[in-house]
Chain A
């Protein structure tokens, strides 16, 4: 059962990969801006160390098993009915995906 779940997970991740691979990677300058936004602005609610605050924790173990595209949708569209805002006016989808991958690695890596 567990291996079925893992397989499904692997498929989900693989399925998400082409979108990621096909999108432009943010420039190094933009990457450092995104890094800053992650720590300072996302960190306002999720904690600068991403242990959580008013918003949920975003440590690698909390993101495990969640597809990048789905998480990017959350970043870009927010979660209606909660304080999580839609960031679409400030971030593109490739940028959101890049930030999620950054969180998956752990921000101190």
Chain B
């Protein structure tokens, strides 16, 4: 009840704030969205005064919502689980356009030049390419594999330099690279037998290395985007050997995988550990014991800290790893259901979604104290416009 009251208070405040939005020009570089996963809505937020500026409804099933931003930082493209692709104007808090492009979708990317949106679909499995302005479909690339023409779910879609997109086929165990020089006629190069059950992928912030995580094997698949002819290499083979793995109640996410201090930090599947890997040799150089099974392992933008959240039953906690000493600096307890977090562009604060408290909490990353919070209905993804300027986001 109190939550409801607070929430309607927020809505009222939002309505009051709206006229100011219409009148005063403003930049968007301190703005972003918070996904309210259960009710198909996003909140439009700004990080300077830490307020909610508006809200946009009618975005469908956002149970696994992802978004990317236009290069001018004005539009958020929100990918819904139900196959909906929505273009949201965050300056006016309005839904510009929405198309239903598949039955079951998981995320998307924007091209290097900002002209195309690629969406990765589970059902029907494949990738579709859309015009970023009109959302008109330009190309459809079904993820067919094998002899029988079966279609695979697509995971780990990322944009790569040179008008390219790269993604992974879950059932097929393949990585595909598409060149969109001619967007209506994408040239696709396929890499087969990369490993069993690749469940997600990421591209390094410099756009050079594409890495797919393998659920069915101990190891990762690595592709050098500078030299595709080398093919897919295996790295970290057998990294999970030893103790039997614990049940994995939530799949780790790779997009936030962190690079800091020349090292890559990644979640160990089924283990209470963050793996530390040398980003030149791709050899393990350490493990940091943590409170639970990591889901997101993300560095503060300056790389001095790495923040971690966890799967059930430890999803009420977060831990901060000190990168210099590779040890846990502090354990925080934002509350049950910490689903996601996002740093402000220069990293002085981090915004944390606490789903089961219907709250977004904001922490000072220097003092590690909570400095603010606001209500949001079952918040999941928090995404700031600074992503518009980053390869692979």
Contacts and interface: CB of A to CB of B under 8 A. Distances in A.
Whether chain B is bound by chain A comes out as yes
Interface of A: 36, 39-41, 43-45, 47-49, 51-54, 78, 81-83, 85-87, 89-90
Contacts of A90: 249, 312-313
B64 A44 contact: yes
B381 to A, nearest CB: 13
| SS of B interface (majority) | loop
Interface residues of B, number: 30
B216 A48 contact: no
B312 A41 contact: yes
A90 B63 CA distance: 22
A52 B123 contact: yes
Interface string B350-365: 0000011000000000
B248 A83 contact: yes
Given A47-B81, A83-B215, A54 B199 contact: yes
Contacts of B38: 39, 48
Contacts of B197: 82-83
Contacts of A49: 61, 63, 81-82
B91 to A, nearest CB: 29
Contacts of B250: 41, 44
Contacts of A86: 247
A53 B247 contact: no
Given A41-B250, A52-B123, A47 B215 contact: no
Contacts, number: 68
B81 A85 contact: no
A53 B216 contact: no
Contacts of A83: 197, 199, 215, 248, 251
B106 interface: yes
B170 interface: yes
A81 B196 CA distance: 10
B100 to A, nearest CB: 13
Nearest to A83: B215
A34 B33 CA distance: 30
A51 B312 contact: no
Contact of B251 (A40, A45, A81): A45
A47 B153 CA distance: 14
- Residue among B63, B170, B312, B337 facing the most chain A CB atoms (10 A cut-off): B63
Nearest to B337: A40
A45 B312 CA distance: 14
Contacts of A81: 216
